[in-house]
Structure 1
Amino acid sequence: MELSTLAILALVAFTAGFIDAIAGGGGLLTIPALLTAGLPPHLALGTNKLCATFGSATASYTFYRRKLFNPSQWRNALIATAVGALLGAILAHWLPSDWLNQFLPVVVFACGLYLLFSKTPAAPPTTAAAIARGRQWPQGLTLGFYDGVVGPGTGAFWTVSSLLLYPLDLVRASGVARSMNFVSNACALSIFIISGQVAWLLGICMGLALMVGAFLGARTAIKGGAKFIRPVFILMVLALTARLAWQHWFGLT
């Protein structure tokens, strides 16, 4: 891969990490970018999991260190997410490349539209109530499985669903999302490593850039977010995925 292409992908990863730590959806940018750079779909998914693990680890540790995520309250969700991600990554490994080439733009485009037009649920009036543990199993299995198969938008889906299901404010819901995202990324990555579907040099370079973006983004989120970035980011994602769909569905460039 040319040095200029590597630099562009690293810049994309930095942007994705920053946005992902604030509102989720970083994979909406990195997966189309990897596909546009010419990586086969399985290799793009595996490489994306490698760089995403860097970013989600940084962001989740930031929330944990600031006491905005308590692992003991979310034990069921952590286990369920790990199981779901492993099963999802195994399924993704066996899906034909042609299916993924046509399937990925659809999923990314649909998630982008959802994130563009959806509104973040209001936080409950109090956050002192206990966290329900039974709800964590279906939530973790479903979102973990989705992250293992594809992944774009998982962080945002975790944030929104956690606000709907538990007495959390937006910052703590973001802490849950970052932590669960790290678990599902790491578990799915292990499957892609075993199957040899990771471009290590590219993934590490993008991962380091994504870590820096996630480090800055997590602090921005904790301070109140930067919501004005989100519409521009999602519109850019939609344009990129529309190009991918045009290329893979109609054979045009």
Structure 2
Amino acid sequence: MFEVSLDLALSLIGAAFVAGFVDAIAGGGGLITLPVLLLAGATPLQAFSTNKVQGAFGAATAALTYAAKGQVNLRAQLGAASLAFLSGLAGAFLVSVLPTEALRRVLPFILIAIAAFFALRKGLDDTDRAERIRPAAFAAFVVPLIGFYDGLIGPGAGAFYMIGFVMLAGYGVLKATAHTKLLNFASNLGGLVAFAAIGAPWWVTGIAMGLAQVAGASLGARLAMKKGARLIKPLLVVTSTALAVRLIWQMI
């Protein structure tokens, strides 16, 4: 049945619920699930690929929940999502070929900069602002870049989509969060397809965690729509900072 013992499986399922809740609001759910998968005995490749399995459930649930409340038009995002999927697929296939160490060393500082932006930027709320880049250009250039990163490395991809929508597309915080989820799902799914091709995921455990993600993501998205930027901003700051600290700790 499970690839791990029952008590470890229950711990992983609990972690997935919390991760789905956090990820639906501010991203960063992998910060919770990846370490738990590694502690459960997964190899790094198994942990990353199983994380893609369960994460896809949460991202899809969050996207559908936001769409049901009119926060995002998923059909309008299908083109961008297709690019995110292909980019995530390419990134995952090239993970063993491209040198990623330099990017991993710079990543914590990028995440800290994102946290500082959302913590210190005045007037950053749910109000839309003037766009700096047309939607077609955003889909053609920004989305593939982040999608490729999601397949190649992964941590922080949701935050990168989010800040792109805020800074370049001019979206308010809640709208940016809602528009992030389908793209995050698509690039996550692209990475999963690549990992599945080499038989790496723990499928049963990943699907069980995914069902917990569905419950957590649904609750998180509903709460985010109720509280808006007042909840999303501080949680994004916390998750980005925590992820940066974890990455720095790994390098020491």
Q: Name the TM-score class by shorter chain.
A: 0.7 to 0.9
In the alignment of these two chains, the number of paired residues is 241
**What per-residue deviation string (whole Å, max 9, x for no partner) do you get for residues 39-96 of structure 1?**
111111110000000100100011122222123443442232122111011112x359
User: For the structure 1 residues 67 and 137, does the alpha-carbon distance in structure 2 shift closer, same or farther, using more than 3 Å as the test?
Assistant: same
Give the one of 179, 184, 194 matched to 1:181: 184
Q: Which runs of 5+ in 1 are unaligned?
A: 247-253
Q: Please say if 1:7 is aligned against 2:6.
A: no
**2:49 alignment partner, one of 46, 51, 54:** 46
Q: Report if aligned partners of 2:156, 2:243 keep a CA contact under 8 Å in 1.
A: no
CA deviations on 1:188-233 (whole Å, 9 max, x unpaired) are 2111112101101221121111211111110111112435555655
Letter of the aligned partner of 1:118 in structure 2?
F
Maintained 8 Å contact 1:105/1:244:
no
Runs of at least 4 residues of structure 1 off by over 4 A? 102-112, 227-246
Q: Aligned-residue CA RMSD in angstroms? A: 3.1
Q: Structure 1 residues 116 and 135 mapped into 2: Cα distance closer, same or farther (>3 Å)?
A: closer
* Residue in 2 that maps onto 1:70: 73
Q: Deviations over 1:131-167 (max 9, x none)?
A: 5312211111101101111211111111111111113
User: Quick check: 1:166 aligned with 2:169?
Assistant: yes
In the alignment, the residues of structure 2 paired with residue 201 and residue 24 of structure 1 have an alpha-carbon distance, to the nearest angstrom, of 24
Query: Would the alpha carbon gap of residues 7 and 242 (structure 1) be closer, same or farther in structure 2, given more than 3 Å must change?
Result: farther
Q: How many Å separate the matches in 1 of 2:219 and 2:7?
A: 24
* C-alpha distance in 2 between matches for 1:164 and 1:240: 26
Q: Aligned pair 1:119/2:118, yes or no?
A: yes
For residue 168 of structure 1, report the CA deviation from its aligned partner.
2.0
Q: Which amino acid aligns with 1:34?
A: L
Instruction: Work out which of the residue numbers 217, 221, 246 in structure 2 matches 1:218.
Output: 221
| TM-score, normalising length: structure 2 | 0.81
List gaps (5 residues or longer) in structure 2: none
The whole-number CA distance in structure 2 between the counterparts of 1:104 and 1:177 is 22
Deviation at 1:114, TM superposition (A): 4.4
Secondary structure of the structure 1 residue equivalent to 2:137: coil
Shift of residue 106 of structure 1?
Answer: 5.2
The reply to whether residue 139 of structure 1 matches residue 142 of structure 2 is yes
Counterparts in 2 of 1:228 and 1:216: CA distance versus 1, 3 Å: same
SS of 2:70's equivalent in the other structure is: coil
Where 2:135 maps in the other structure, the secondary structure is: coil
Q: Determine if contact 2:50/2:203 at 8 Å carries over to the other structure.
A: yes
**Aligned CA distance change for structure 1 residues 125 and 112 (closer, same or farther; 3 Å):** closer
Whole-angstrom distance in 2 between the partners of 1:130 and 1:245: 36
One-letter amino acid of the counterpart of residue 201, structure 1:
V
| C-alpha distance in 2 between matches for 1:10 and 1:189 | 19
What is the DSSP-based 3-state SS (H/G/I as helix, E as strand, rest coil) of the residue aligned with 1:119? helix
TM-score, normalising length: structure 1: 0.81
